[in-house]
Structure 1
Amino acid sequence: MRALVVAGQFAGPGISPWLLDDLVLALAQAGHEVDVIVFDSKHARPKGPAAIQYANVRICSVGPTVIRPGRIGKLLAHSAAGFGLHTRGYRFSHGRDYDVCMYTSIATFSWGFPTRLRIRGRAKTLLFILWDFFPIHQIEIGRIRARAWHMPLRHLERASMKRADIVAVMSDANERFLRSYHPGLKAQIAIVPPWASGPNVFASGTRRDRFTAVFGGQLAHGRGIETLLLAAKELQGESNDIEILVLGDGTEKEKLIATSRDLGLNNLVFQPSLPRSEYRALINSVHVGIAITVPNVTPPTFPSKIVEYCASALPVVVCVEESSDAGQLIEQWGAGIAVPAGDSVALARALLVLYAEYKAGSLPARSDAALALFSSELSVSRAVSRLEAAVELAINTPGRS
């Protein structure tokens, strides 16, 4: 299979690998030929062939070479990325007939480029990987404040995914929401949970002496970190020796640090984000991973950090919105505990349960379950097999145009 991956985010100098990096490498290792067009609007990169190359993989950057600050700078970066897709990116794909072109949410920011390739016959199949229901999720968590933008942006997103032959969603709950939010969608639906390379259990890894729970992720608005701070406050009055490590950076970090200080927390520590290899080493040294979202959100989420935790045999506390089925998956496998988003008391109690299991010596059973869940459902090799099957089915479906 010859695949083209149109990626807004991909590894580069000083940029850690991500889900699409794992997918591209796994596709190449499975014998597929993969081209990657990177239209990164957040990091300045040299145009043309990327400095990082892999066997059976060609990578070309078409995004901005300079990132300017402010809203105007952001608009210019997005515009440069879109222009680069339809100029340098289109030339890069010239003479290459692809079995599949893959692109990810937010579809609007692909600027119609995958659709152009499909219409021109350069891609037999379009596969849209939907991780983020735009714009409703951004509106409900407050990242887009003007609700009047909802319908125009919703129609734009629908138009950007309209020609997709396959839409890959993260879970059954995601499929149900997709069909209600975009009724009449004709694409084939594939269930493909987030993935990671791995497993990443270090042979030399030893857990810390003090029971430590980690949250690793962006410290930005609408991420639910405030719930974790309040849970830490609940735990501080208990007779336990639990430490919470908040690992990451973002626009809300200083505000969260100030809140932690105001709450008088001495059981919660902030650390900056780490390169992926160092992050994986760190989570091999702790006991529990925490995934948090915000309450009162309609579209179901599946935090990708769950995958990294399970890949490192880390039991998980999943604090997610009612619409999500990610917590159900964790509990079905015995890999952790699910609690409602926004419920700091329930989050604190879940951590106390796992702390008690740690003291009793029974927590390793959850570690084994987390690793089993990863190997069965969340590994990148599993994602590749699911995507291969979806593409084969789409190509062989009669009556495709």
Structure 2
Amino acid sequence: MILLVSAVFPPEPVVSATIAHDLAVTLSDDVTVRVLRPKPTRPYGFSFDCLRMEYKKFEHVILPSYTCARSGLFGRMRESYSFGRYVARYIREHRDKIAVVYLNAWPLLAQYLIVRAAKHCALPSIVHVQDIYPESLSTKIPVFCKFIHRLLMPLDIYILKNATRVIAVSENMKLNFIRTRGILEEKIALIQNWQDEADFIKYHYQKKDLLYGQASKKPFTFMYLGNIGPVAGVDFLIKSFAQANLSDARLVIAGSGSMKEECQRIAEGCKDTPILFWDVPAGKVPEIQDRADVMLLPVKRGAAMSSIPSKLVAYLYSKKPVIACVDQQSDSARAIEQARCGWVVPPEEMGELVAIFRLVSDLKKAELEEKGMKGYQYATNNFSKKHNLKKIVEMILQAANNQGISANWAD
């Protein structure tokens, strides 16, 4: 049995959940798969009451662990510890049935407890890392960052050194692990997160039949779509857009998250500035993003250094140009510049973002569409589900084969 541990899973509309589901479905063609996950809570403010899913190809277990959807250091640490403790207990109780443990779990406590349990049970473990901890905490709690760094770094080193394989989602992340944790390069697999391009391809194909896909007069639309959390910098977007004072333009904030109410209060204080907040029903990302002229990617300083936000990939698949407020040395900045699909400005530099807002709002539609198409082509070549899913599946099956399970991967 492949034990697939995921901190998020459908119906949660986040990319890590989709990745875990893709893995479970594909692996179950060859071997028995059992998914362990907590009850759905992400993103904060999203309603799951009317969403029910059936999982027919694999076993699905919801653990009764503590959850904390609202951002907060101690609540999130308790959530991580609780989930890790339940998973570790499950591993110990079912060790004879498990061939390999794949985990995309909350950092760092859950990861530590799960890897330690797998090690004690002589089971191979594959850790899928989405962000670098404890470094990323410095953007959330800068006052105590040095103390927390010294406290938590040994945990991360233990996790990475005792896992059988480590999946890094960006080049910067891989280099960081080698340089600061002493992890052997051959132990780390660089595999980008993916979006299912099929949803976007299907939408583009059907677009002509949709009402709002037809030509219509609307304000020039800048859009952010994603989690409205403390690292996203949506508040900075709102203030900068108001400062730009554009005519016949609007800012749309689509999504939910722990900072949504605060951002709505800021928007209400920007009188005479058209700032709208939209919900994003499950499965409607391609349709909603199609209503934008330009997509926005704001990230707090330092927070984009370790990974490419999943929303950027979705933006590119929507054939939209992107304005990114990210660190110049980040993988996100590198991707946008390589693709030539948008503009990169430093995080939290209002003057530069205001200037870009004004510049872009005056560009011709053909120039925006050209940049959008370049981004789409770049995403197809680098963030495809087809290629990146196969890499992880092969890694998991190889670990299973080493444990004595026979499984073949077919193209």
TM category, shorter: 0.7 to 0.9
Mapping of 1:250-399 within 5 angstroms? 250-264=257-271, 266-271=273-278, 273-295=279-301, 299-357=305-363, 359-388=364-393, 390=395
The AA in structure 1 aligned to 2:154 is H
- Aligned partner of residue 243 in structure 1, secondary structure: strand
Task: Tell me the equivalent position of 2:102.
Answer: 101
Q: 87, 91, 105: which is aligned to 2:89? A: 87
Task: Write the distance in 2 (CA, Å) between the matches of 1:40 and 1:106.
Answer: 17
Task: Write the distance in 2 (CA, Å) between the matches of 1:80 and 1:35.
Answer: 19
Task: Write the distance in 2 (CA, Å) between the matches of 1:245 and 1:302.
Answer: 22
- Aligned partner of residue 362 in structure 1, secondary structure: helix
Task: Tell me the equivalent position of 1:46.
Answer: none
The answer to whether the 8 Å contact 2:5/2:35 transfers is yes
The structural deviation recorded for 1:74 is 6.2
The AA in structure 2 aligned to 1:251 is S
Task: Write the distance in 2 (CA, Å) between the matches of 1:297 and 1:68.
Answer: 20
Task: Tell me the equivalent position of 1:132.
Answer: 131
Task: Write the distance in 1 (CA, Å) between the matches of 2:219 and 2:185.
Answer: 52
CA separation of 1:156/1:377 partners in 2, compared to 1, >3 Å: closer, same or farther? same
The AA in structure 2 aligned to 1:191 is L
* 2:69 aligned with 1:63: no
CA separation of 1:80/1:395 partners in 2, compared to 1, >3 Å: closer, same or farther? closer
* 2:31 aligned with 1:24: no
Task: Tell me the equivalent position of 2:241.
Answer: 232
- Aligned partner of residue 258 in structure 2, secondary structure: coil
Task: Tell me the equivalent position of 1:165.
Answer: 164
The structural deviation recorded for 1:219 is 2.6
The answer to whether the 8 Å contact 1:166/1:394 transfers is no
Task: Write the distance in 2 (CA, Å) between the matches of 1:170 and 1:107.
Answer: 17
For residues 69-98 of structure 1, what are the alpha-carbon distances to aligned partners after superposition, in whole Å with 9 as ceiling and x for unaligned?
Answer: 999876765554233213345445642323
Task: Write the distance in 2 (CA, Å) between the matches of 1:383 and 1:300.
Answer: 18
* 2:108 aligned with 1:110: no
CA separation of 1:67/1:112 partners in 2, compared to 1, >3 Å: closer, same or farther? closer
- Aligned partner of residue 102 in structure 2, secondary structure: strand
Task: Write the distance in 2 (CA, Å) between the matches of 1:52 and 1:331.
Answer: 39
The AA in structure 1 aligned to 2:231 is G
Task: Write the distance in 2 (CA, Å) between the matches of 1:366 and 1:68.
Answer: 36
CA separation of 1:182/1:54 partners in 2, compared to 1, >3 Å: closer, same or farther? same
Identity level (%): 16
The answer to whether the 8 Å contact 2:168/2:188 transfers is yes
Task: Tell me the equivalent position of 1:178.
Answer: 177
CA separation of 1:302/1:170 partners in 2, compared to 1, >3 Å: closer, same or farther? same
Task: Write the distance in 2 (CA, Å) between the matches of 1:250 and 1:325.
Answer: 24
* 2:180 aligned with 1:196: no
The AA in structure 2 aligned to 1:106 is P
Unaligned runs of 5+ in 2: 43-51, 403-411
TM-score (norm 1): 0.81
For residues 308-338 of structure 1, what are the alpha-carbon distances to aligned partners after superposition, in whole Å with 9 as ceiling and x for unaligned?
Answer: 1122222222211233121221221122222
TM-score (norm 2): 0.79
CA separation of 1:94/1:37 partners in 2, compared to 1, >3 Å: closer, same or farther? farther
Task: Write the distance in 2 (CA, Å) between the matches of 1:57 and 1:332.
Answer: 39
Task: Write the distance in 2 (CA, Å) between the matches of 1:111 and 1:80.
Answer: 12
Task: Write the distance in 2 (CA, Å) between the matches of 1:83 and 1:290.
Answer: 38
Task: Write the distance in 2 (CA, Å) between the matches of 1:245 and 1:262.
Answer: 16
CA separation of 1:325/1:87 partners in 2, compared to 1, >3 Å: closer, same or farther? closer
The AA in structure 2 aligned to 1:244 is L
The structural deviation recorded for 1:131 is 1.5
Mapping of 1:18-57 within 5 angstroms? 18-25=15-22, 28-29=25-26, 31-33=29-31, 34-40=33-39, 42=41, 52-57=53-58
Task: Tell me the equivalent position of 1:47.
Answer: none
- Aligned partner of residue 236 in structure 2, secondary structure: helix
Unaligned runs of 5+ in 1: 44-50
The structural deviation recorded for 1:168 is 1.8
Task: Write the distance in 2 (CA, Å) between the matches of 1:308 and 1:78.
Answer: 28
The answer to whether the 8 Å contact 1:214/1:286 transfers is yes
The answer to whether the 8 Å contact 1:168/1:191 transfers is yes
- Aligned partner of residue 318 in structure 1, secondary structure: strand
Task: Write the distance in 2 (CA, Å) between the matches of 1:351 and 1:35.
Answer: 48
Count of matched residue positions in the alignment of Structure 1 and Structure 2? 381
The structural deviation recorded for 1:216 is 1.9
CA separation of 1:305/1:17 partners in 2, compared to 1, >3 Å: closer, same or farther? closer
